[in-house]
Structure 1
């Protein structure tokens, strides 16, 4: 199997597996326990917290471990809504957000909150001026993803952060797809919250983190004991915490490695050589994640293209219901024409992708006669 679906999930890095093992087999203590096993696991959790913090340039006490990106996003939206309800009930987001943002927004809408969904341009990019124009006196939160999971387009987070700071509005970005692929500095971006998902950065599924700027207080999503600085109750998942910490440490080491981008560029050139004007890149050509290619095979059906690519794992944002293909909401928001959008396939490369893999996929695409 040639795996080109790294934006969906990643395999667990070998170094990550190794750091997990002692906490599976030997060090099983509760980090809240006042004995040697408890001290051992408490130290491990705090070391992991520091490793996560180092990746995004924040203090370790600003990192809260969660079960993943969805929990982190829900924690920000619902926790902010509760704390800030006296100031107002208006939230700003975009039309291309992940369901882990859109669905909590819809939930809050049922409870009297007003959500503005800002449009994007043809590249799938938000205009920061549109965010500023949408701000009202009762706006309590802006939440815009750092990069889009389907197209890879990077959003103007730093510019939006300055706007949020100017109007004294809390600002959140879901960086699940960007972590480990591009440098992220929370001070530079001027964000108050930032979401991390472990399984996007070669850690296990079921672990994530949320950066919360230290002077900010939000209502916990999970109430109970005083774990995670009283922001997220529940006995710490030591095994997965240390896994995410090590994954973030590795990601920091590899940030200057351009090999994945070079391979992605090689793949795109190969596709252009074969198909020419028969394909289209969805997303920004430059301001895009270095591993992501959302390619439309014009006039074709993306699902059928994938079905014919035997032995290749990739994805499409479309869905097939009763023989009809529905277009990805992200591409719909970008106003991609139907005959282009239905042919979209997302190829996302990772650490274990080789040039031989890409050459083989290009040959397979030639063989299935899409021209």
Structure 2
């Protein structure tokens, strides 16, 4: 980390972990292609399959059910499609039901036409409305094809944990498929694809200390699979063709294994730091709004509003104080705009909010420095409600 800087944007990307870095350096020394049958190729294949087992273990899945892709966005575009196969038989998905707080990669609908995407509302606490989901699926026309439901496990902006298993039960009761974006949940809460009753999970390496540019689509079985997005040489059992991003996949596997170690203890420590942060924020600015503070959240995330402080103004102000945080999702080429998550929760989209996300390397000193910056920035707000 750069001197005199405090990094509190772990939900955007986690710094590359030591185990991932070491594994990648070892992988770079292997010359073989994992698709080759000679000794060098078999060595590369062995390292790749070790990573597959490590990623599968992170979510309680079977290793053969892990398909490596370039990241969560590709995984979303892979699985959000009208064309599936159940064994050799074609299967059609006619409509996608997405929660209103989904990441843009999910809300865009992947390969389904926009008119086939229906939003499921959330309540004021940012939790998906299960009764609304039930009503929508009850009205689904099964003669046109199956419904697909997509609900994230932990929201990337608020950190709020969603009732995924309950949503999956509703989806399956109506003959539908369940897709879960678990990107912000793995490494922060226990994740098990079977306990969640999910058909597919979406994962991203760089959120857990692995390298950027690699992720996975994890399925519950191999009988039901989407039509491939990328076809060609037949890698990844034909589910995703193209030479694998080998050293990145190996780093992803190492990061996944590390994410499982001391999970409860690590997150208890992070929760303590976040609680101290939020208590200090309340003391410095009693009018601050901490979104989702009364409902289950992942331990590392604080999504807050300082009335009178615009998102972009606040982000710049903290950056000038040496604090790296974000104004929500960091997946829009640096753009800072209205939060669709706040809008879905019933807040004025112009209200503005900032996200602080902690990680295993966050220290007490980082929290103290952030609170000092927070007090300074909060104190500069003008009585009119405009940021200074």
The answer on 1:185 being equivalent to 2:192 is yes
Q: 2:71 aligns with which of 60, 68, 72?
A: 68
Taking structure 2 as the reference length, the TM-score comes to 0.88
- 1:206-243, Cα deviation, whole Å (9 max, x unpaired): 01011012231221110012211211111122201111
Q: 2:324 aligns with which of 313, 317, 320?
A: 313
The answer on 1:234 being equivalent to 2:242 is yes
Q: 2:348 aligns with which of 302, 312, 337?
A: 337
> Could you say what secondary structure the match of 2:248 adopts?
helix
1:112-123 equivalences in 2 (<5 Å): 114-123=116-125
The answer on 1:46 being equivalent to 2:54 is no
Q: Distance in 2 between matches of 1:172 and 1:210?
A: 10
Q: Distance in 1 between matches of 2:93 and 2:211?
A: 38
**Cα 1:283–1:298, aligned 2, differ >3 Å: closer, same or farther?**
same
> Could you say what secondary structure the match of 1:186 adopts?
coil
- 1:261-282, Cα deviation, whole Å (9 max, x unpaired): 1111111111112112x10111
Question: Greater CA deviation, 240-249 or 88-97?
Answer: 88-97
Q: Is the 8 A contact 2:157 2:329 kept in 1?
A: no
The answer on 1:21 being equivalent to 2:25 is yes
The answer on 1:360 being equivalent to 2:361 is no
> Could you say what secondary structure the match of 1:47 adopts?
helix
**Cα 1:225–1:318, aligned 2, differ >3 Å: closer, same or farther?**
closer
Count of residue pairs the alignment pairs up: 357
> Could you say what secondary structure the match of 1:195 adopts?
strand
- The Cα of 1:357 is off from its aligned counterpart by 0.7
Q: Is the 8 A contact 1:170 1:192 kept in 2?
A: yes
Q: Distance in 2 between matches of 1:232 and 1:315?
A: 33
The answer on 1:103 being equivalent to 2:113 is no
Q: Distance in 1 between matches of 2:203 and 2:121?
A: 24
Q: Distance in 1 between matches of 2:329 and 2:189?
A: 27
> Could you say what secondary structure the match of 1:336 adopts?
coil
> Could you say what secondary structure the match of 2:195 adopts?
helix
Q: Distance in 1 between matches of 2:349 and 2:225?
A: 45
- The Cα of 1:53 is off from its aligned counterpart by 0.7
Q: Is the 8 A contact 2:194 2:220 kept in 1?
A: no
1:115-194 equivalences in 2 (<5 Å): 115-135=117-137, 136=140, 137=142, 138-194=145-201
Taking structure 1 as the reference length, the TM-score comes to 0.91
- 1:74-109, Cα deviation, whole Å (9 max, x unpaired): 10002xx1237864511111221111112235x622
Q: Distance in 2 between matches of 1:88 and 1:241?
A: 30
Q: Is the 8 A contact 2:157 2:303 kept in 1?
A: yes
